[in-house]
Chain A
Amino acid sequence: MNNSKKFLPGLFLVLIIVFLILGAILYLAAYFWGFFLILLAGILYFIRQVITLGPAEAKLNVKLMGKKLMVPVVGILCSMILAILIMIITGYDPLTVLKSLFYGGFIRNWHVSVLNATPLIFTGLSIAIGFKAGLFNIGAEGQYYIGTMAATYLGLKLGLPPFLSIVLIYLISASAAAAYNIFPAVLKVKTGAHEVITTMMFAHIARYLSPIFVLANGGDPATSTHVYVTDEIIRTNFLPYFSSFLPEANYRLHIGILIALITAVAINFFLNRSKYGYEIRAVGANADAARAQGISVGRNIILALVMGGFLAGMAGVTETLGLNHKMFQNLDAGYGFNGISVALLAGNHPIGIIFTSLLWGALDAGGQYMSRTTGVPGAIVEIIKGMILFLIVAKYIYSWAGNRLVSRRKARAEEGLA
């Protein structure tokens, strides 16, 4: 009896994980029926909750989860309504725009969305870990540049067996980006220089120095007219493609997204279940209280920023080994800023960042598709993104509106009484 009580939830857990992983891989590779596996995993999860906790509590959990998702959903709906208004004002047919935006982003060019989302997950995590420690790693873009440069350099030179080579490139390049972020971290601890300024400045420095690197590694102004670009990295250093094991997947889709997912799960575990993660969160929540508990504030500030640098560097490595295979001089990626958006949207929750990055990636991919097919400026997506961001981050807006409504009703009721 006792045995079966433990056996069943255990079996369910294994099934949920298997379905979830399989479903995610398939779905991300644009095998859309993978979605049913994810759905199945969700249903199994609910059944498991009913078995282990009893129906009442399971229902409550679902309700709580729904409440948590309320703000994002309402925010997205509200910004869609606003976007429709803007489209009408500026003379575009909202129906055509939205239709091709969603068709392009979520179905037709879903693989582009996934490719877009991959680096965003890393930079989003980088910024989220900073926020958890009460720090704003606004210069993630710079660390991304360092990661890209290191990965390109090693990718050009390192000719070890493929797997070993890729792992080494990941470790060394991301560590270089992490090391780059030590400077602002130490300055913050030693002198109190605000990380918003220092990381931003370091980002500009990395950006402006990158052309030197590109030119030194094959960027020949004589051969290329306006875009300077390095030579292509060694073929064995490419990240494997999905199409090598899923024949119908898009040929550009690389396994970087899976590395991103694993990293997100690992960071989630680190932040919420490990001692170091607890310390980082404690420092972010209340530095004085953390100090009183005997937690070293300085050490955790450095740890959070260095880890942030490592993650942003991983974004650069993934883009280089998986997608670009070389470095462009005018690499104006914008992953730093977009990373801020996805982190804020997800409330700095590592798992949430996966979804917000996919949403952001899909909006970008859909915007491109839309402007190609309908001629509507793709930049309308930037507006939609901005509004979604604002309406979700400014959570207080809902309780403010609610209060307004209630007090007005109250006033009206009082008037009626009088």
Chain B
Amino acid sequence: MNTFLAIFNADLLVSTIRLATPIALAAIGATICERSGIVNIAMEGIMVVGAFMAVVFTFLSGSPWVGLVAGILGGGIFSLIHGAATISLHMDHTVSGAVLNILALGVTRYLMILFYGHPGTTDSIPISLKAYQFAIPGLSRIPLLGPLLFNQTPIVYLSFLILIAATILMGKTKTGLHIRAAGEHPLALETIGVSVYKIRYLGVFISGLLSGAAGAYLSIENAVSFSEGMTSGKGFIALAAMISGGWSPIGAYLAALFFGFADALQIRFQIMSRVRIPAEIFIIFPYVLCIIAVAGLVRRSRAPKADGKDFMIEKSE
């Protein structure tokens, strides 16, 4: 019973939210991207770039806020390569995504050696965003939910705002309608005079910004440095969250929470296990759940109709 209480307590929920945040950010971004018709498996790479840029700019400026902005923009700009490749150059979406994942590793490794003189892990930044954790007065007093939702670090708050913004964007605005149309029936959208290319670029760019934020979370909020391989498959788990969440921002967030919970549980089990059970048994827990979730839920959710389909307009000369 004691062990049980030591594992399942309010802290578990707090770390669930923390671990879910990067997955949720990337998953919401991927949702918007795929609703616009572009398959994005490059989130892992974009997160790597975002995480690296965030650390470098925090280092250069001394302020993690500058780092956050740099991480977000870095992810956005890097994602535009995916946009250019898939939209303008009509490359296969998964192929382009895979190439970008590889490119991200190379670019960050090169730049790291250039800036820091060695591969592996960067030097620590002087101050991380965790130092800016703040409680919203009043609201944070609510039992259980208060500390969970209203006593958090900046990017976690940002993820809440983004969830609300993404839901409104996709459901209530004209732009959201255009994005959904670009993914369901691009020709119809083009017929009413909206550029499918532009909308799809927008979708990719948004997903880049959010994946960049997810990367910044990993490096300058959850840690104080960037190390190679720190994303450890989170970009792909985000992809799973997007599918399990049925291509809606809220669904993606809930699925991310689920994977965050699995991760939080796994870490606790590792610490708690007094018996000689190898810790690795627990590390794989989130990955196993991810497979089960995707296999179990994929039938019930429906991908956008033109998702991953190339769209080419023949301009008359």
Contact = CB atoms under 8 A, between A and B. Distances in A.
A211 B89 contact: no
B283 interface: yes
A191 B110 contact: no
B179 interface: no
B294 A136 contact: no
B290 A197 contact: yes
Contact of A138 (B91, B98, B109, B112): B98
B102 A341 contact: yes
A372 interface: no
Given A200-B233, A204-B284, A194 B294 contact: yes
Interface in B224-274: 229, 232-233, 236-237, 239-240, 243
Interface string A186-210: 0100111110111011101100110
A333 to B, nearest CB: 13
Interface in B81-139: 81, 85, 88-91, 94-96, 98-99, 101-103, 105-107, 109-110, 112-114, 119
B287 interface: yes
A396 B90 contact: yes
A111 to B, nearest CB: 24
Interface string A106-138: 000000000000000000000000000000101
Question: What is the predominant secondary structure among interface residues of chain A facing chain B?
Answer: helix
Nearest to A385: B106
A380 B290 CA distance: 35
A379 B298 contact: no
Given A136-B94, A194-B243, A209-B280, A332 B105 contact: no
B110 A382 contact: yes
B230 to A, nearest CB: 13
A397 to B, nearest CB: 5
Interface stretch (A63-71, A172-180, A386-394): A386-394
A379 B85 contact: no
Q: In this complex, which of B41, B98, B101 has the most chain A Cβ atoms within 10 angstroms of its Cβ?
A: B98
Contact of B298 (A192, A393, A400): A192
Interface residues of A, number: 45
B10 to A, nearest CB: 28
Given A196-B236, A209-B280, A390-B103, A332 B95 contact: no
A383 B291 contact: no
A36 to B, nearest CB: 35
Contacts of A209: 280-281, 284
B99 A344 contact: yes
Contacts of B109: 379, 382
Nearest to A216: B278
Nearest to B114: A90
Contacts of A332: 229
Nearest to B282: A208
A27 interface: no
Interface of A: 90, 136, 138, 183, 187, 190-194, 196-198, 200-202, 204-205, 208-209, 211-212, 215, 332, 337-338, 340-341, 344, 377, 379-380, 382-383, 385-386, 389-390, 393-394, 396-397, 400, 407, 410
Q: Which 7 residue pairs are nearest across A and B when measured between Cβ atoms?
A: A382-B106, A377-B113, A386-B103, A193-B295, A379-B110, A379-B109, A201-B287
Interface of B: 41, 81, 85, 88-91, 94-96, 98-99, 101-103, 105-107, 109-110, 112-114, 119, 229, 232-233, 236-237, 239-240, 243, 278, 280-281, 283-284, 287-288, 290-291, 294-296, 298-299, 317
26 contacts: A187-B291, A191-B296, A193-B291, A194-B294, A197-B243, A198-B295, A201-B240, A201-B291, A202-B287, A208-B283, A212-B278, A377-B113, A379-B113, A382-B105, A382-B107, A383-B107, A383-B110, A386-B99, A386-B103, A386-B106, A390-B99, A393-B99, A394-B89, A394-B91, A400-B88, A400-B89
Given A211-B280, A390-B103, 16 more contacts: A136-B94, A191-B295, A191-B296, A191-B298, A193-B298, A196-B239, A197-B294, A200-B233, A204-B233, A204-B284, A208-B284, A337-B101, A382-B109, A389-B102, A393-B99, A410-B317
